[in-house]
Amino acid sequence: MSGLKASKQQQSNFKRPDPLDTGSYPGRVVRVYDLGLQPQRTFPGNPPKGPAHEIHVTYELADEFLKNDAGEDLVDKPRWVSESFVLHPLSSDLATSTKRMKAIDVDDELDGDWTEALSRPIMINIVQNAKGDKIYENVQSLSPMRKKDADKLDPLVNEAKFFDLQAPDLELYNTLPKWLQEKISSNLEFAGSPLEKLLKATP
């Protein structure tokens, strides 16, 4: 019998970094992705929720980095943390999107425009959550950064980018993790959208 046999799963050399400690981290907004109209989970005992527009926001941490095999910081590979939430009007004071925007834009300069939030300095408050036998870090909240600290903060290592469903960048889309591509392409308004047309036209 041949010893050459394809494995059932693709092998990966990726090693998940240790979860970040609970605490507050300086950073900047590095990515904003438009997820489109998404179905919402309904919890037992609550009335069903209608679909809602969601965005996915990624923050680049200024003082936490991936490490090499010797445990040394790779200064060109800062750690990222991300979260998704429903995009509500700014008048919805209790909405996560409003709280995040107000922390980023304390002077009300951006008029709720998340594309203008890119590169903005922010303090990212991170907590640890267990899922099975793994520990994950999650964004609990954002808080404004003091101006004197923001003035000293290093610029982004990675280029700030926005994925726009109305004018999709296929090159950017193809760099996204598979699960995020699937979430975007399964949004409830995908049929007939610019992204669907672009994907169909691509060999």
Task: Confirm if 38 and 52 have CB atoms less than 8 A apart.
Answer: yes
Contacts of 85 (CB under 8 A, 6+ apart): 54, 55, 57, 95, 96, 97, 100
C-alpha distance from residue 88 to each of 113, 136, 197 (Å): 12, 26, 28
Instruction: Quote the pLDDT of residue 13.
Output: 54
User: pLDDT for 75-128, tens place per residue?
Assistant: 999 999 999 999 999 999 999 999 999 999 999 999 999 999 999 999 999 999
Q: How far is it, in rounded angstroms, from Cα 140 to Cα 27? A: 15
Pairing of strands 52-67, 134-143: unpaired
For the stretch 11-20, contacts whose Cβ atoms lie closer than 8 Å and that sit 24 or more positions apart, written own/partner, are 17/66, 17/67, 17/79, 19/128, 19/135, 19/136, 19/137, 20/61, 20/64, 20/79, 20/81, 20/126, 20/128, 20/137
Q: How far is it, in rounded angstroms, from Cα 85 to Cα 97? A: 7
- Please determine, for residue 2, whether its predicted confidence score (pLDDT) is greater than 50: no
161-178 average pLDDT score: 97
Which residues face 52 on adjacent strands? 38
Residue type, 176: L
Beta strand segments in 22-96, E: 23-38, 52-67, 73-86
Burial, 172: exposed, middle or buried (Cβ in 10 Å; 0-12, 13-18, 19+)?
A: middle
Instruction: Quote the pLDDT of residue 52.
Output: 97
Which residues face 85 on adjacent strands? 55
User: pLDDT for 36-79, tens place per residue?
Assistant: 999 998 888 888 889 999 999 999 999 999 999 999 999 999 99
pTM of the model: 0.90
Instruction: Quote the pLDDT of residue 140.
Output: 97
